[in-house]
Structure 1
Amino acid sequence: MPPLAVAEIDLDGPDGEVLSLRPAPGGPPLGEGGVYALVRLRGRPAATVLAQVRTGEDPAEVLAEAFRAEWAVRKRRNAQGRSAEHRARAEPVPPPCAERPTPPPPRATVVVATRERAAPLARALDSLLAQDHPDFRVLVVDNAPLTTATRDLVQGRYAGRVDYVQEPVPGLAAAHNRGIAAARGEVLAFTDDDVVADPHWLTALTEPFAADPRLGCTTGLILPARLTTPAQILLESHGGFAKGFTPRLYDPAAPPADEPLFPFTAGSFGSGANMAFRAQVLASVGGFDPATGTGTPARGGDDLYAFVRVLSAGHRLRYTPGALVWHHHRETWQDLRNQAYGYGAGLTAYLTAILVRRPALLPSLLWKLPRGLAHARAITAHRAGPDAGTTPGTSTAPGAHGAQAHPWPRSLSRLERRGMLHGPLGYLKARLRTRGSRS
């Protein structure tokens, strides 16, 4: 798998001219070879394209033509009778001029939990401090530190601009809960130390709270910052962390017809590297379960647990693709193996956490659980299929590094299933450990 350059191209509409082309934040300059690009329509994320740039070709024109070709295919399919729901999912969102003005975003705190990763943390903090949001703070939670590297970085280079707290109990959820206790503002946003945030990220992520008093949570778009190793390319060719380019509202009062397992299909709502909560709502559901998340035997599931708790309490969740972060995927094959196992473990760990901590959801969960597990297994099996990894609004140019070119290895599917078997036990171990740390 040869490496791919990652870029952003901005077009003046689906059939319009190129407004700008630039490498993804921190990426190398564009040249010949494979390019994975985010397509913006007048600044708004609309799709991704994969194209091959040959010697002497203009990368901007190659990428623009790849998108226009895919756009023409979509229009033909829609004209042949595709359903309105599919059209809404497949077509990029309209340009900003088609939208009504929104109220100013509420005051926010961005919580970044980290552990012994000072170099990537600095990269993330630089992008967070460049946000165009009018009123926010950044809070770093140093989780079970072994050295003073994180504290020295924050209190040195970022003194007065970034707040710092420590959480001695290891685990991402415990660190997030410490952030909740120390944060200020109406909205709490969460991201990771391995992202670079788009300058408009926080504004786009928090604006919906001002417009919708029933909104409890928002999530956003996550795209790869680099695609230089086979592990990174394989992960992204099968969907990565992206959830498409169409805004979507999840409302427990009107469950989505296309998700019969709602709200237990929490993985479709978003990911923990790009999420925000109304502070009052997050506090009312008890925050994150400290026995879930990276750094615990549960291996994950802290974000999924929070999504379901917020929805089951009657609040809405909105997916907002305009809120973009660039994620630095893990680079090695072993990293991808660990990730696959952790995904499976986190899924069943969060389901176990819901059962243990929210018994009132037990009847619904038990009724939907067999279908939920079958759904999860189908997802891992589907990755090896010809259409695996495609997401609404994502276009793949001919000959690109897509799912057909890179089938999802059966060994990784087996690891995910093994993780699913481990998840409940891992959660119970973490829960006992958490209780012991409090005594």
Structure 2
Amino acid sequence: MSADLNSAAIPAQRSAPAAEQATVPGIVRDIELAEPLPLLPAVQADGRRAEQAWLLIRLFSEPLGFLLLDLPEQGLTPAELAKAVEAELGDEVRKRLGDVPVPVHGLNPASEPDFLAQRRAVLTTAPHITVVVCTREHPAELTKCLDSLLAQEYPAFRVLVVDNAPVSDATAEVVRAAAARGPVDYMVEPKGGLSFARNAAVKAAPGQILAWLDDDEVADPHWLAEVARALHEHPDADVISGVIVPAELETKAQIWFEQFGGHSKGRGFKADEFGPHTRHIQSPLYPLPPFGTGANMTFRPGVIERIGLFDTALGAGTPAMGSEDTLAFTQVLLTGGTIVYQPSAVTRHYHRRDLEGLRKQMVGYGTGLVAAYTSLLLSRPVLIFPLLRLVPSALKDMTGKDTARTATIREDFPQELLSANRRGMLAGPRAYLRSRRAARAKVRATQA
């Protein structure tokens, strides 16, 4: 969603001359409609001029959607912000507040809002959840991640950090410091590769609800509470998938990643459910819009074991580069399972800051996706026929101008990134075969 607003309603801010003033592509803010709306200045406290504002709009902490607004030189007044929210999310606000306009000065409800009452009720019988963070030599990022987990407003959880093929004791030191403040455990998986690390966690935590978070993310304080709400409201769900929003938009590369769909890939903020009853609407074989992402997913006990664990030839740290999560979601659905998308379970991701890092990520996404399909076909050759029937839809999603994949791409988006993504797709089958040989060699080496 986007809106372009121009206003002269507030005085121009004192700022450095244009030639001297540093700029930042975007700022990220949460906007709580129950509180008085803020003034959004174009010039930030550090003197930089912000070009856009990415705003997560919430009501009594419930995320309703996001706005991407261009910031005029004068900034945005609370009234202008309310107008923008009304234009994009007014219907969602009225569903919860009745026939009233978007509030500018906040709310003082006479009774506890339904959303908060439901969360409080779930927390009285909160199930124990093990949060798994797989990491490799990212101590600074891991520190922020663990800080956010220890700040969870949830009564029954622990964090399990899997140190994947470490070459230093940096991760162990970070975990040791966090464990002094809360329930954080540590283990090592010597075989390099994200799927090896994921599987080690599964084997170390049998019979437990497993929630997964990447080390370059931070969790909203209510993340686990909203995961628990989804588990409670959907007792038949095998997997709960939350929403991932940007933690910052400090560089053009981060803006472009969001234009490409970010981690949300057009899912929006409407709760959804995928399972046997939705196959006529959404094929388990083609996840666009997908069912979830590995950076914010929760599995009930035994589900990962039921699908044969994560494919060790997929994921970060392999030639296939990714998509162990995509394959897992697909396998859950193909075996009759159910995945629930719970957009109130929010995590924030620090996107790659530089163009080269984003280019590699785009290659990895393409390579991993097709590698996952290669894995699926090798295990279930009969799926070739339904997959071929889905090819026209896939081509439309990749090349159409108003699809979930392309609708948010602006004119400044580098076409080379799309080309990099497609090059990765072409490399997918060969990369998977290389990954499978490498994974088997790692297993043999540890058994020797």
TM-score range, shorter chain: 0.7 to 0.9
Tell whether the 8 Å contact from 1:293 to 1:302 is kept in structure 2 after alignment: yes
- The secondary structure found in structure 2 opposite 1:5 is strand
RMSD between superposed Cα atoms in Å? 3.0
Q: CA deviation at 1:148?
A: 1.1
Q: 1:251 aligns with which of 266, 271, 275?
A: 275
Q: 1:113 aligns with which of 115, 134, 138?
A: 134
The amino acid of 2:63's aligned partner reads P
- Separation of aligned partners in 2, 1:33 and 1:413: 24
Question: What runs of 5+ residues in structure 1 fail to find an aligned partner?
Answer: 76-93, 392-401
Q: 1:432 aligns with which of 422, 437, 440?
A: 437
Number of corresponding residues: 395
Q: Structure 1 residues 30 and 312 mapped into 2: Cα distance closer, same or farther (>3 Å)? A: farther
The amino acid of 2:242's aligned partner reads G
Q: CA deviation at 1:366?
A: 1.1
Q: Structure 1 residues 337 and 433 mapped into 2: Cα distance closer, same or farther (>3 Å)? A: same
Q: CA deviation at 1:347?
A: 0.9
Tell whether the 8 Å contact from 1:292 to 1:350 is kept in structure 2 after alignment: yes
Render the CA deviation track for 1:266-325: whole Å, top value 9, x for unaligned.
761111110010121112222211111011011111000110111122111000000001
Tell whether the 8 Å contact from 1:219 to 1:276 is kept in structure 2 after alignment: yes
Q: Which has the higher contact order (CA 8 A, sep 6+)?
A: 1
Q: 1:403 aligns with which of 396, 404, 409?
A: 409
Fraction of identical pairs, as percent = 39
Q: 1:96 aligns with which of 97, 106, 115?
A: 115
- Separation of aligned partners in 2, 1:29 and 1:47: 29
Tell whether the 8 Å contact from 1:113 to 1:142 is kept in structure 2 after alignment: yes
Q: CA deviation at 1:380?
A: 3.0
Tell whether the 8 Å contact from 1:191 to 1:273 is kept in structure 2 after alignment: yes
Q: 2:236 aligns with which of 202, 214, 221?
A: 214
Q: Structure 1 residues 404 and 174 mapped into 2: Cα distance closer, same or farther (>3 Å)? A: same
2:157 corresponds in structure 1 to: 136
What TM-score do the two structures reach when normalised by structure 2? 0.80
Tell whether the 8 Å contact from 1:5 to 1:28 is kept in structure 2 after alignment: no
1:158 corresponds in structure 2 to: 179
State yes or no: 1:333 paired with 2:355: yes
2:366 corresponds in structure 1 to: 344
Q: 1:423 aligns with which of 395, 417, 428?
A: 428
Q: 2:65 aligns with which of 6, 22, 47?
A: 47
- Separation of aligned partners in 2, 1:184 and 1:30: 50
State the structure with more CA Rg. Answer: 2
Tell whether the 8 Å contact from 1:115 to 1:144 is kept in structure 2 after alignment: yes
- Separation of aligned partners in 2, 1:413 and 1:138: 37
Q: Structure 1 residues 403 and 158 mapped into 2: Cα distance closer, same or farther (>3 Å)? A: same
- Separation of aligned partners in 1, 2:73 and 2:79: 13
- Separation of aligned partners in 2, 1:66 and 1:352: 45
Q: CA deviation at 1:157?
A: 4.2
Tell whether the 8 Å contact from 1:221 to 1:323 is kept in structure 2 after alignment: yes
Tell whether the 8 Å contact from 2:130 to 2:209 is kept in structure 1 after alignment: yes
Range with bigger deviation, 180-189 or 125-134: 180-189
Render the CA deviation track for 1:228-281: whole Å, top value 9, x for unaligned.
111111111232112210000001244252x3x334327611111100101211
Tell whether the 8 Å contact from 1:51 to 1:62 is kept in structure 2 after alignment: no
Render the CA deviation track for 1:36-94: whole Å, top value 9, x for unaligned.
1000122111111122444555554433221112246999xxxxxxxxxxxxxxxxxx9
- Separation of aligned partners in 2, 1:249 and 1:200: 21
Q: Structure 1 residues 194 and 347 mapped into 2: Cα distance closer, same or farther (>3 Å)? A: same
State yes or no: 1:370 paired with 2:392: no
Q: CA deviation at 1:161?
A: 2.8
- The secondary structure found in structure 2 opposite 1:276 is strand
Render the CA deviation track for 1:77-120: whole Å, top value 9, x for unaligned.
xxxxxxxxxxxxxxxxx962796965734211000011110000
- Separation of aligned partners in 1, 2:424 and 2:208: 36
2:100 corresponds in structure 1 to: none
Range with bigger deviation, 1-10 or 117-126: 1-10
- Separation of aligned partners in 2, 1:389 and 1:110: 30
What TM-score do the two structures reach when normalised by structure 1? 0.81
State yes or no: 1:319 paired with 2:341: yes
- Separation of aligned partners in 2, 1:73 and 1:209: 27
Q: CA deviation at 1:183?
A: 2.4
